Amino acid sequence: MTAPFWKTKTLDEMTQAEWESLCDGCGRCCLHKLREEETDILSFTNVSCRLLNTEDCQCSDYANRFAKVPDCVQLTPVVLREIDWLPPSCAYRLLEEGKDLPSWHPLVSGDPATVITSGASAAGRVINERDAGPLEHHVVDWPAQMPRVRPPRRKRAKR
C-alpha cells in the first residue's frame, strides 16, 4: 500500500489538484484578523469574508474570489512561508511544520462532513462582515487554537 501524497511529497512538489485538496474547508482562514500596530499582536475575529457561507464555510464564488475580494490571499508554498496568520489546524501550515493531517481532515476521514461534525469548522460560529459592525467587537480566541475535536456520536441501539 502506498503512502498518501501529503506524506510523500513536499508542498512544492504537489500538483494543483493535490494542493487544492489540502484545504479542509473549515473557513478559519476566511475570518478577519486584526494586528496591533505597536505590538504586532495578531487577533482573530468571528467575522467572515462576505463570500463565505457562514453555515457550511464554503466560498460562494471561489472562482472569482480574487476579483471580488481584492485582499483575499492566494495561498502558495511561497506565500505560506511568509504569513503568520493561518490557524494552527490548517493542513498547509501543519504540513509545512512537518506535522500530519488530523483525523477529521477529509483526506484522512474520507468524508468532507467530518470537518463540521468534529467541531473543527467555523460553520455556525461566525457572522458575515456585512452584518458585523466594528471588528473590534468580535475578537475571539478559538480560531487561533487547535480545535477540541468532539468525538463521533454513537447511534443508540433500537429497543
CA 142/CA 122 separation, integer angstroms:
9
| DSSP secondary structure code for residue 102 in this structure | P
- The residue with cell 480574487 is 66
pLDDT class of 112 with cuts at 50, 70, 90: very high
- The residue with cell 501524497 is 5
Residue 47 bridge partners (DSSP): 127
Q: What is the pLDDT of residues 38-51, one digit of tens each?
A: 999 999 999 999 99
2: which residues sit within 8 A by CB, 6+ positions away? 8
pLDDT given for residue 52 in this prediction: 96
- Side chain identity, residue 12: D
- The residue with cell 504540513 is 95
Q: What is the pLDDT of residues 72-103, one digit of tens each?
A: 999 999 999 999 999 999 999 999 999 999 99
Does residue 159 carry a pLDDT above 70? Answer: no
